Amino acid sequence: MGLITLKHGNRHRADGSDPLEATSDGIYNTTTLGYGNLGSWDLPPHANPSLWWGYTEDFNSTRAGNGFGYAGNAIEAVSGTGTINTAAVGQQGGFGWLTAGLGTGGSTSDYAFWGNTSQSPIRLGGGEVIHRWRGRFSALSDGTDTYGFRTGIMDTSSGTGVPTDGVYLRYLSTTSANWLLVAVNNASETVVDTGIAVSTSNQSVGLKINAAGTSAQFVYLSNGIWIPAGSPVASNIPTGSGRETGFGFIIYRIAGTTNRTVTTDYHSTWCRFTSMR
């Protein structure tokens, strides 16, 4: 695709999007990273909202307790005494970024969720979707204190049920010690074991869904590069009317009484539209 040089020196693609020449750090080199033929970007996607939709939360609020001070786009939903919603100092010194801590509480079926106020703004199939999450767990799930975790695109904020529609990452030790990539369409699931173990150290993990909504792939960050792992999911990706979803992450207790927490550094979901709006 040809480039147009403007008088002020910035270069834009003929379709109106805003990629520039590749930079040395290659932050948005989406072709190299296998995200499709998007070219190399050194401007963040939200610089062109006609082509991109998305939401990134760095948890910059210092408000702790039952809510981080969100309004409108995101909420916390908690259930059960002892469930934790807190803010903690993050690891990027000098930028004031924080982390969000959610806990299971001490009773079966306790859960804590952060995500969309409405769980139905996303209908897949209209553009390529990229989801990213970075965080860590206080302890791994085990046979005594067992919990589950989901992050990604899903249509429920409750820990007592499972999403009816969505594409997300799941940690469920009763099934696997690894990250699972899940696609669910009208309650019919396809699950792929990625082979990448869940850790109590910080991990950056995510998924990408192709523009048509026919394939989804797990990715993880290693040495500055997003690497695919496991087989793609090629079925049960919800794309039709009535199969809309939201985004978020949730930790929920299955068994035991000891509180378990997940600390999240950031949560990000973006779509590059097939057609400009």
pLDDT tens, position by position, 120-145: 788 999 999 999 999 999 999 998 88
Q: Is residue 109 domain-shared with residue 15, that is, in the same domain?
A: no
Predicted pLDDT of residue 210: 95
Q: Is 61 contained in some domain?
A: yes
pLDDT over 50 at 72, yes or no: yes
pLDDT score for 26: 34
pLDDT at 47: 64
Distances (CA, A) of 150 to 26, 93, 96, 259, 276: 29, 28, 26, 17, 31
Residue 48 lies in a domain: no
237 within some domain: yes
Residue 176 covered by a domain:
yes
In a domain, 146, yes or no: yes
Q: Is 255 among the domain residues? A: yes
pLDDT of residue 205: 97
The pLDDT of residue 8 is above 50: no
Q: Are residues 200 and 268 in the same domain?
A: yes
* Residue 207 · residue 133 · CB < 8 Å: no
Give residue 222's domain range. Answer: 53-273
- Whether residues 63 and 30 fall in one domain: no
Q: Are residues 10 and 90 in the same domain?
A: no
From the list 272, 196, 273, 264, the residue with the least C-alpha distance to 228 is 196
30 and 159 assigned to the same domain: no
Q: Could you tell me if 79 and 193 lie in one domain? A: yes
Q: pLDDT digits over 163-204, tens only?
A: 999 999 999 999 999 999 999 999 999 999 999 999 999 999
Give the pLDDT score at 69.
Answer: 47
pTM: 0.80
Going by pLDDT thresholds of 50, 70 and 90, the confidence category of residue 82 is low
Dist. CA 126–CA 240, nearest whole Å: 11
